[in-house]
Amino acid sequence: MATTGVFNGTDLVLEIEGNVIGHTTSCSLSLSLDTPEATTKDSGGFSEFIGGVRGGEISFEGLVAYDDTLNAVELADYLLNRTRITAVFGTSESGDVIYTAESFLSSVEVSAEMEAAVSYSGSLTITGAIVKSTN
């Protein structure tokens, strides 16, 4: 049954190549539309724009656990090998909207402060169409 009302952010997950990224603390999807200017003398002194190239980025943060199925080491390998990967952003609840896209990892960072949990973060740059569907 599809999620209704305001829901907990813990329910949103990021899946890469069929595996949920382990121990994430946050993830976000950012969609964009380029808007080239189309102002002419016929615009009556107002700026006009057209819809151009669409794109997107997915960002994530989490805590490093080397025993996760998909962890910071595997993410770094995807980046270093320039691997094109399938990403799915959404919940696992039946009937909820999910976004699926091919992408490349454009950044991965591992950070370790003294006496704190080791964390990681990164971003995916979407390449090609973004497909909206339901679970």
pLDDT at position 29 is: 97
Domains of the chain plus CATH, in order, are 10-39+47-134 (2.40.30.200)
pLDDT at position 34 is: 97
Mapping DSSP onto H, E and C, the string for 6-73 reads CCCHHHCEEEECCEECCCEEEEEEEEEECCCECCCHHHCCCCCECCCCEEEEEEEEEECCCCCCCCHH
Residues in contact with 67: Cβ distance below 8 Å, sequence separation at least 6, in sequence order? none
pLDDT at position 128 is: 97
Tell me the residue type at 121. S
pTM, entire model: 0.90
Q: Note down pLDDT in tens along the chain; length 135 residues.
A: 788 999 999 999 999 999 999 999 999 999 999 999 999 999 999 999 999 999 999 999 999 999 999 999 999 999 999 999 999 999 999 999 999 999 999 999 999 999 999 999 999 999 999 999 998
Which pair of tokens denotes residue 15? Answer: 């899946």
Residues in contact with 40: Cβ distance below 8 Å, sequence separation at least 6, in sequence order? 48
pLDDT at position 2 is: 86
